[in-house]
A and B are shown apart, each in its own frame.
Chain A
Amino acid sequence: MDKQERQYLEEKAKEIRKLSLRSFAAIGKGHVGGAMSISDLLSVLYFKHANIRPEEPRWPDRDRIVLSKGHAGPALYAALALRGYFPEEECLTLNQPGTNLPSHCDMNKTIGVDMTAGSLAQGFSAAVGMALACRLDKRDNYVYAIIGDGESQEGQIWEAGMYAANQKLANLIAFCDNNGMQIDGTTAEINCVEPIADKWRAFRWNVIECDGHDVESIDAAIVAAKQEKERPTMIIMKTIKGKGAVFCEGTVASHSTNVTKELLDQALAALA
């Protein structure tokens, strides 16, 4: 990755963080932690890898992006707005009465959202179904799925994972946001999901580990995943929950937290 592209993707990640933080502040609170931890990935997907058409959101040959950890929706909305699906200012309607942007992703409300998610692990199964359908239709697109490490405590993740490997779904590239935290504490203390990489290898996936806050590292992982022709790929992204929201970065409490005007200003200043 050249310096210019790195700067561009880093800038987009920063914009995603800023816009989603503004959307949280507009309603006063939200799922900050998990939105911040996938912002760099969303930048690399939406501003480099994803073959999508904002002017034709339901283009049948598009890449699908399924945010199975649906509570990180506000980061996805920011990425969609910045990519031109809808005006950036619409992000400030997050969770307001009648909004098209609810806490958890809703494919029937938000232009550009490929699958509803919120009840954890269900999006991951749907991504597997989409990958099967795309292969059946002989499309050469990719289905990208984003899951969380806490979400990986759901049995359905492993049901879907086992089947995707059995079906040799090389058109499925998944990301595990490995921030090590969940609502009630760290994943290590609540119900340890480690060693995640070994688990996915045991489930016969192509496994790639990367730094989830380094756009070049994420990009390299996706490029490598696209070389794989036999297996689905799980990219395990080491991340920090709340990354970039200085008032809650690296804390369990960042999962769902108040965002006052003061905290927003503090975070925006640090991101500037």
Chain B
Amino acid sequence: MTFEKDAKEMRAVYAEGLIALAEKDDRIVVCEADLMNANGTKSFQKAFPERTFDVGVAEANMIGVAAGLAAAGKIPFANSFTAFATRRCLDQITISCAYTKLPVKIGGTDPGICAQLNGGTHMSLEDVALMRAIPNMVVFEAVDATQLAQAIPQIAYNDSPTYIRIMRTQAEKIYGPDYKFQLGKADVLKDGSDVVIFATGIMVVRALKAAVALQEDGIDAAVVNVHTVKPLDTETVLKYAAKCNAVVTAENHSIIGALGSAVAETLSENRPTIMRRVGVKDRFGEVGMLNYLEKALHLTVEDIAAAAREAVAAKK
């Protein structure tokens, strides 16, 4: 099973989405901390130089400046690598953006193992957990260009501080032209009855491939893209848990605190269900290319399939 790559890099889709919005709405502004080339927002700067604020290597100030812009009526998108966009300025996000309920949008690029050759220092495996624990925050991870393009206006106008997790390069195409994105509403990509795989980000493609492998074992797996980890679409989570009685989560993140935890919390309180979590098992990242890192950190198609087989076996 192969997936066609998107024509455009995700960072280009992000920047184009912001430019399109900014053309219609002068409240849209961009804040950066010396990573405009990396984040693809140079094109925004070219189109709207006066609405671009590159504060230099100072993420805490970037978030604070974004909060001030929002307090004075702007809708700022403040971007950096996931590690620096979140944990580096956690208190600034918590107090200046979330406690204040200001609509600051934080774009984090190259999540988890996507950091590749930038290595362990740049590899955020805790960013979703951190953002999810903050009241008022919305937490979204884009999976492909079609979804991201539709998500940007919904995020801009959702009035909440929002964390957007985006890979920089070309994603594998998941959604077709008929796709209708809704922030907060999970997408069922494949129906199934034996086990459901809830996946985010780069793990969605792997989950779909795992479902094919599982079919050969006679296991009918459902695959759901939970692009919005907060607020969680508990209705879909509970519906598929009830239908399949076995749940797997798959995320390019620590298994602590993000999608796996969110699903486990929901199930434990409402419908205890057999569950396995695929994700990074409480360790730091390291340097390497994606095909090495996914094996080293156990984020492969086979890791998902094995977890699904285990969950199905545990039902008996």
Q: Give the interface of A toward B (CB within 8 A).
A: 60, 64, 106-108, 114-116, 118-119, 121-122, 124-134, 136-137, 155-156, 159-160, 162-163, 166-167
Contacts and interface: CB of A to CB of B under 8 A. Distances in A.
Contact of A122 (B50, B69, B70, B96): B96
Interface of B: 29, 50-51, 53, 55-56, 58, 60-61, 63-74, 76, 91-92, 95-96, 99-101
A155 B60 contact: yes
Given A125-B61, A125-B68, A133 B96 contact: no
A71 B73 CA distance: 25
B96 A127 contact: no
Given A114-B71, A119-B91, A133-B74, A126 B56 contact: no
Contact of A163 (B61, B91, B92, B96): B61
A126 B67 contact: yes
A271 B69 CA distance: 40
B64 A128 contact: yes
A180 B60 CA distance: 26
Contact of A132 (B53, B60, B99): B53
Contact of A128 (B60, B68, B91): B68
B52 to A, nearest CB: 11
Interface-centre pick from B56, B64, B99 (highest chain A CB count, 10 A)? B64
A92 to B, nearest CB: 25
23 contacts: A107-B100, A115-B71, A115-B100, A116-B99, A116-B100, A118-B95, A119-B92, A122-B67, A122-B96, A125-B64, A126-B71, A129-B64, A131-B68, A133-B29, A133-B73, A136-B29, A136-B74, A137-B73, A156-B92, A162-B58, A163-B55, A163-B56, A167-B53
Contacts of A106: 99
A118 B100 CA distance: 12
A116 B68 contact: no
B71 A129 contact: yes
Given A119-B95, A125-B67, A125-B92, A159 B72 contact: no
Label chain B's interface by main secondary structure. helix
B25 to A, nearest CB: 13
Nearest to A60: B73
A108 B60 contact: no
Question: Closest 9 A-B residue pairs measured CB to CB?
Answer: A129-B68, A125-B64, A133-B72, A126-B68, A159-B61, A159-B58, A129-B65, A129-B69, A130-B68
Contacts of B55: 159, 163
Contacts of B60: 121, 125, 155-156, 159
Nearest to B67: A126
A134 B72 contact: yes
Contacts of B61: 125, 128, 156, 159-160, 163
B130 to A, nearest CB: 16
A152 to B, nearest CB: 14
Contacts of A116: 95-96, 99-100
A122 B53 contact: no
Given A119-B95, A125-B63, A133 B68 contact: yes
Given A108-B101, A122-B96, A163-B55, A156 B73 contact: no
Contacts of A137: 72-73
B56 A130 contact: no
Nearest to B89: A156
Given A115-B68, A156-B64, 19 more contacts: A108-B100, A119-B91, A121-B64, A122-B91, A125-B64, A125-B65, A126-B64, A128-B68, A129-B65, A129-B66, A129-B68, A130-B68, A130-B69, A132-B65, A132-B68, A136-B50, A137-B73, A160-B61, A163-B56
A262 to B, nearest CB: 36
Contact of A126 (B50, B51, B65): B65
B275 to A, nearest CB: 37
